[in-house]
Amino acid sequence: QVHPVESGGGLVQAGGSLRLSCGASVRTLGNYAMGWFRQTPGKEREFVAAISWSGGNMAYADSVKGRFTISRDNAKNTVYLQMNSLKPEDTAVYYCAAKDPPDSLSIYVTARSYDYWGQGTQVTVSS
């Protein structure tokens, strides 16, 4: 099993930037496909971005395309979500998720595909 741990959330003004990090407390994330999701009260968990374990394949939700960038540094056992040009509607709890994939390029955009989840980190964007 792997236990993702998110960090980097906080309060930022609209138009600002934040970088979220996802590490692992026990095993390495290096062999896992990773995803970022977000959730606001009363709504379902929403896909944000995904990356294959090799880093060679990525996907983004339309709402964040061009503003957010997912990346990973397997040597540092960390996955990142760089968030630029933040908007108040980006306010949510952001979750990191991991999936043991069949190959180096598989990515997953649905929450039910992932096996392991972090506890989440709050991102608040003020207008």
pLDDT digits (tens, 9 = 90+) for 47-64: 999 999 999 999 999 999
Mean pLDDT lowest for which of 23-32, 43-52, 87-96? 23-32
**Residues 121/7, Cβ–Cβ less than 8 Å:** yes
- Tell me the one-letter amino acid at 101: P
**Residues 23/29, Cβ–Cβ less than 8 Å:** yes
Is the torsion defined by CA of 4, 86, 59, 72 positive or negative?
negative
Is it the case that residue 94 has pLDDT exceeding 90? yes
Quote the pLDDT of residue 28: 81
Is it the case that residue 29 has pLDDT exceeding 90? no
Cα separation, 114 vs 19, whole angstroms? 22
Mean pLDDT of 10-32: 91
User: 93 pairs with which residues across the strands?
Assistant: 39, 122
Is it the case that residue 37 has pLDDT exceeding 90? yes
Is it the case that residue 36 has pLDDT exceeding 90? yes
Quote the pLDDT of residue 89: 97
User: Percent of the chain beyond pLDDT 70?
Assistant: 99
Measured distance between the N- and C-terminal CA atoms of the chain, rounded to whole angstroms? 40
